[in-house]
Amino acid sequence: MNFDGTVALVTGAAHGIGAATARRLHGEGATVVVTDHDADAAAGLARDLGARALGIACDVHDRGSVDAAVDAARAAFGRLDVLVTVAGGSVPTPDPEQVSDEEWARLVDLNLTGTMRCVRAALPLLHESPRPAVVMVSSVNGLAAFGDEPYSAAKAGLSVVAKNYAVRYGPAGIRFNVVAPGTVRTRVWDGQDGALERLAPHYPLGRVGEPEDIAAAIAFLASGDAAWITGVTLPVDGGILAGPLRSMFPER
């Protein structure tokens, strides 16, 4: 997977999966635009990467902020070849009969509409690229019933959007794919002692994911090695979707 000469913009890139993705793409030769609402952390990661990296503040809730980040990438590097949308997340919400319109809309905006803002802003530059690719980060929540309905509904929407955009923009050579992680060891689990260890046995591979596991899949789908893959959602989930009830059965 050689990204020499390409420019990649990663949202939510200051921490966790986004940071691992920025490091992976940079290590494979890409120039990386590190964007995050945490501007200081984005700038810090860009400094750590050194050459071929730029840190920019970006709030995916704000169209102006998204447009400004893409404009900064254009001004600095003159092109954009890869867009990876990692920014998203969830917060505890009430049961469905109690969740407010505002809570639902906020999570859909962050996890679905925010991604679409990024795609819309990037498309003019992607049309000019010889090897354009978009990879959206979803979740197994978008593929099966794991609760957290507003977040899950938004993540499910990414798969449908990717299929439609793959068909619409395929003739222009722009590929759209989705990665759907299972439980991943990120800072969202900080302070929840033992939670990841309790979840690990539910995964057929016996562990939760690491950010680098997801970054590797993203790098593949963004690379020329996946040149004939578009419109797919790839679970990167340690087998949880293949055997979600594994832990209920005794070992044979």
Residue 147's domain spans which residues? 7-248
pTM beyond 0.85, yes or no: yes
Residue 209 is given by DSSP the state: B
What's the structural domain count of the chain? 1
Cβ-in-10-Å burial (0-12, 13-18, 19+) of 249 comes to: exposed
The stretch 186-211 carries a mean pLDDT of 90
Q: Is 151 a catalytic residue?
A: yes
Position 247 confidence tier, pLDDT thresholds 50, 70, 90: low
Check whether 252 has a pLDDT greater than 50. Answer: no
Q: Cα(119)–Cα(150) distance, rounded to whole angstroms?
A: 21
| CATH number of domain containing 102 | 3.40.50.720
The stretch 204-226 carries a mean pLDDT of 97
Check whether 251 has a pLDDT greater than 60. Answer: no
In a domain, 1, yes or no: no
Retrieve residue 222's tokens: 């963004």
In a domain, 94, yes or no: yes
Q: Cα(3)–Cα(191) distance, rounded to whole angstroms?
A: 37
Q: Which of 32, 47, 76, 61 is nearest to 222 (CA)?
A: 32
How many CA atoms lie less than 13 Å away from 162 in the CB half-sphere? 30
In a domain, 45, yes or no: yes
In a domain, 77, yes or no: yes
3-state secondary structure at position 100 = coil
What pLDDT is attached to residue 243?
77
Out of 33-37, 183-187, 210-214, least confident range: 183-187
For residues 158 and 97, the model is more confident at 158
Read off the pLDDT of residues 63-119 as tens digits, 9 standing for 90 and up. Answer: 999 999 999 999 999 999 999 999 999 887 778 888 899 999 999 999 999 999 999
**In angstroms, what is the C-alpha Rg of the chain?**
18
In a domain, 2, yes or no: no
The stretch 19-45 carries a mean pLDDT of 98
Given the structure tokens 């990414």, which residue do they identify? 158
In a domain, 135, yes or no: yes
Percent helix, strand, coil in the chain, to 5, is 50, 15, 35
What is the pLDDT of the chain when averaged over all its residues?
94
In a domain, 211, yes or no: yes
In a domain, 123, yes or no: yes
